[in-house]
Structure 1
Amino acid sequence: MKIVVIGGTGLIGSKVVKKLGEHGHEAVAASPNTGVNTLTGEGLAEVMAGASVVVDVSNSPSFERAAVLEFFTTSTRNLLAAEAAAGVGHHVAVSIVGTERLPENGYFAAKIAQEELIEKSPIPYSLVHATQFFEFVRGIADDAAIGDEVHVAPVGFQPIAGEEVAQAVARVAVGEPLNGRVEVAGPERVQMDEFFRDALSALGDTRAVVTDPHARYFGSELTERSLVPDEGASLGQIRYRDWLAAQ
């Protein structure tokens, strides 16, 4: 089966391509550096030829509110049009657990707009909602830093290894379209402030983690369930400490 992976040279996309290839599929990594640009449409018709499934794990180069919205809506419209012309039968997209709970967050709002375009398209689809990746722990801490302190809310947090996100995406890609979503998360649900206190210590980061109920997550104030999955989510098996030790 030919499966085109948009963003296939990135963190998750490269792992998805590898996993699909290991199972005998023709997995094609598509990104600007392979001549495929979803914003301009360059290379889309060519890469879609003969494809059965398209997996979109691309990301916006800018997280500024207007820019990220423009990226996800324009690229998704172009992708869906190219897929329809090529007769692609399954569109898979990666999104975030809790997008609908933080609509004031510019990035989450852009992902909601992307999902709405996919849901309204005639192409059968599957959405994979993932929690935060272990790989982004330091970046999340940096965004939450105020001077030498990292301010984090005492709310639920259930991050996951990128490897297990890729595994879930690959599994969904070769299955029947869900015409709905599946949630994936890490094996441990903890308090976010406690997680970052332990995680930064393990990374050798000496910044103090301050428990702050009003701390913002990329501009949004969180509630207990903002970032955690609902019941029935597919859970990974890799724990953060074990993942970190293996890096």
Structure 2
Amino acid sequence: MKIVVIGGSGLIGSRVVALLGAAGHEALAASPRTGVNAVTGEGLSSALMDADVVVDVANAPSWEPQAVLDFFRTSARNLGKAEVAAGVRHHVALSIVGCDRTPENAYFVAKVAQEEGIKAAGVPYTIVRATQFMEFIGDIADFNTDGGTVRIGNGLFQPIAADDVAAILTQTALAAPLNGTVDIAGPDRAPFAEIITRYLKSIGDARPVVTDREARYYGGRVEEQSLVPLGDARIGHLSLEQWFEQVKKR
């Protein structure tokens, strides 16, 4: 099969392209770097020619509220039109667990808009909602550092490794469309502050971590279950401890 990966040069996309190629499929890494831009429409028609599946893992270059909303809304609309014209049989998109439960987070609001655009396009689809990536734990700690102290909301956290996200997306791309949504998460669920503390300890970072009910997650208030699956979810293989060991070896 020919499978076009929108955002195929990024953290997840590059892994998906490699996995699809190893499985014997024609995997095209499509991004502005390769002349394909889902927002402007540049290169979409030629990239999608004879494509069976599109996997969209593109990330917005700006998280400013209006910019990120415009990015995901426009890219979903342009992809849908191009896929209909090309006869694409399955659209797979990466979204975020709980994006519809945190309306104060502009990025999450934009992902909801993207999902709505996908559903309206008329192409059979599967939306894969992932929890936050283990690879972003350090960035989350830095973003929430105030005066040398990491202040984290009191919700639960269940991060998933990028390798597991890519593997599940690859499996999804090769399966029949669900015309629905599936949640995916890592195997370990614990209070947000506990996981941040474990990560910092694993890399020898002495910053203290405190639970602060007023702390926001990129603008959104974190309730107990804001960022974790509420029902059934596909669970990744890599545990936090295994991932921490990988980080130490880098």
Using the size of structure 1 for normalisation, the TM-score is 0.98
Which deviations, in whole Å up to 9, do the C-alpha atoms of 1:126-168 show, x marking residues without a partner? 0000000011011111111112010012221100000000011
Q: Which residue of 2 aligns with 1:65?
A: 65
Post-superposition offset of 1:244: 2.6
Q: Which runs of 5+ in 1 are unaligned?
A: none
Residues 63-142 of structure 1 aligned to structure 2 (within 5 Å) = 63-142=63-142
Which moves more between the two structures, 235-244 or 192-201? 235-244
CA distance in 2, matches of 1:121, 1:42: 19
Residues 87-236 of structure 1 aligned to structure 2 (within 5 Å) = 87-236=87-236
Aligned letter for 1:117?
Answer: G
CA distance in 1, matches of 2:130, 2:35: 28
Q: Which residue of 1 aligns with 2:20?
A: 20
Residue 150 of structure 1 aligns to a residue whose secondary structure is strand
CA distance in 2, matches of 1:242, 1:149: 26
Residues 36-75 of structure 1 aligned to structure 2 (within 5 Å) = 36-75=36-75
Q: Assess if the C-alpha contact under 8 Å between 1:73 and 1:114 holds in 2.
A: yes
Residue 12 of structure 2 aligns to a residue whose secondary structure is helix
Q: Assess if the C-alpha contact under 8 Å between 1:187 and 1:239 holds in 2.
A: yes
Q: Assess if the C-alpha contact under 8 Å between 1:154 and 1:194 holds in 2.
A: no
CA distance in 1, matches of 2:194, 2:245: 19
Mapped pair 1:30 → 2:21: no
Q: Which residue of 1 aligns with 2:9?
A: 9
CA distance in 1, matches of 2:197, 2:43: 45
Post-superposition offset of 1:82: 0.8
Matched positions, count: 247
Residue 55 of structure 1 aligns to a residue whose secondary structure is strand
CA distance in 2, matches of 1:203, 1:182: 33
Q: Assess if the C-alpha contact under 8 Å between 2:81 and 2:121 holds in 1.
A: no
Residue 5 of structure 1 aligns to a residue whose secondary structure is strand
Q: Assess if the C-alpha contact under 8 Å between 2:77 and 2:121 holds in 1.
A: no
CA distance in 2, matches of 1:90, 1:200: 40
Q: Assess if the C-alpha contact under 8 Å between 2:80 and 2:122 holds in 1.
A: no
Q: Assess if the C-alpha contact under 8 Å between 2:104 and 2:221 holds in 1.
A: no
CA distance in 1, matches of 2:162, 2:121: 28
CA distance in 1, matches of 2:143, 2:168: 28
Q: Which runs of 5+ in 2 are unaligned?
A: none
Using the size of structure 2 for normalisation, the TM-score is 0.97
Q: Assess if the C-alpha contact under 8 Å between 2:199 and 2:244 holds in 1.
A: no
Post-superposition offset of 1:169: 0.5
Q: After TM superposition, where is structure 1 displaced by more than 6 Å over at least 4 residues in a row? A: none
Aligned letter for 1:38?
Answer: A
Percent of paired sites with the same residue: 54
CA distance in 2, matches of 1:98, 1:158: 12
Residue 11 of structure 1 aligns to a residue whose secondary structure is coil
